[in-house]
Homo-oligomer: A and B are copies of this chain.
Amino acid sequence: MKAVADSLWKQVREDFPILAREVHGRPLVYLDNAATSLTPRPVLAAMNHYYEHANANVHRGLHTLSAEASEAFEQARDKVQRFIGARGRESVVFTRGATSALNLAARAWARPRLARGDVILVSELEHHANLVSWHIITKETGAKLRFIPLADDGTWRIDLLPELLQGPVKMVSVAHVSNVLGGINPVKEVIAQAHAVGAKVMIDAAQSVGHMPMDFQALDADFLAFSGHKMCGPTGIGVLCGKAELLDDMEPVEGGGDMIVHVGWEESTWNLLPYKFEAGTPPIAEAIGLGAACEFLGGIGLDRVRAHTQELTELAARTLDGMDGVHVYGPLVGRLGPVAFAVDGVHPHDVATLLDGEGIAVRAGHHCAQPLHTKLGASATARASFYITNQPEDVDRLVAGLQVVQEVFGVR
């Protein structure tokens, strides 16, 4: 097993010069991938190439630089479309990130279609992006949130779904992979059952796109949201992918250049998809960078990315949970990326700071999932999260680091 994970890491490490960095005199072990992934050279090169050779605005220009920029920008959309298996390029709307994408669908699809008493079904493990966006909408409409509860092992009580879907459920919006518990949630089943009762389904794929193969059409979700910066792409960009007939039916949230056909003094008419939702100068370099990230990951193969990441994640979960005085939250198998854990007698912040002293970057806090932490009975957890830039040795370093933590706090 280690050999497999090793080989991918060896293949890509040269693409991530930051991996050569030292932190507090120790070689960096970056275990904060769920917050943001590291960015490989080809992605930076694609963005720098735009700025250094074709630095122009898109769509509206007849000159060479603008034509080149427009082509690179639209090719990036095509790359994203193929990467996630969307039916057409008109389904791929560039946003500022996953949060913006979730909010866009909540505001433009759900808000005008919700009435007092209607239900939006989410789960107990959602990221704030998929909760607070709804809090805003429920406050405005009088609709209500309902929650898919978690079983003790941190997986969904999918058995309760038929019951949860009763009544005026208009929208189901759930995370594909939890950014804390790491479990790969059974979204296909949710989609099938939700559609059977006429609800639409949005998948928060911030932790899954770029981490495992994604086929939007086969999945049959109505909306899919994700960020560039969690999948080797740049900050400042994300995607709302939607079924074209739904997007077509939605009013834009922002108005400006590029999203119109005709602007009169008093009113305007909207452009075709996806431009209707992309008011103003888009994140051009960022889209090009995201396209390059799709190519980079596609070149590795998403099956391999997933196998590598899942192996390391499960190895880490198993190993940590086996340590005296360490407990892992969530499932030990079927886990992709994040491993949240507790060290008895040591607050997660102290864990993170002491690990940083060992050159190991983990995160501590509620990871933008306060309600989940309420459920877990912990106001904060420590989280190590894995991706293609990790190797099995990183798990050893983490274990050794945790031993130091336990020593300093005298809890061993």
Contacts and interface: CB of A to CB of B under 8 A. Distances in A.
Interface of A: 17-18, 21, 23-24, 28, 30, 32, 35-36, 38-39, 44, 48, 51-53, 55-57, 60-66, 96-100, 102-103, 107, 127-129, 131-136, 138-139, 144-145, 147, 227, 229, 234-237, 251-260, 262-268, 279-286, 349, 352-353, 355-356, 360-365, 367-368, 370-371
Most buried by B among A60, A147, A349: A60
A38 B53 CA distance: 10
16 contacts: A32-B63, A32-B65, A35-B60, A39-B55, A66-B361, A96-B100, A99-B257, A99-B280, A100-B254, A103-B253, A103-B279, A133-B255, A139-B267, A227-B280, A229-B284, A262-B370
B99 A129 contact: no
Given A100-B254, A279-B99, A260 B132 contact: yes
A265 B371 contact: yes
A354 to B, nearest CB: 10
A235 B134 CA distance: 29
Given A66-B35, A136-B255, A257-B99, A60 B355 contact: no
Contacts of A23: 63-65
Given A35-B60, A96-B280, A100-B254, 9 more contacts: A32-B63, A66-B361, A98-B280, A128-B260, A131-B255, A133-B279, A135-B263, A227-B280, A236-B236
Nearest to A279: B99
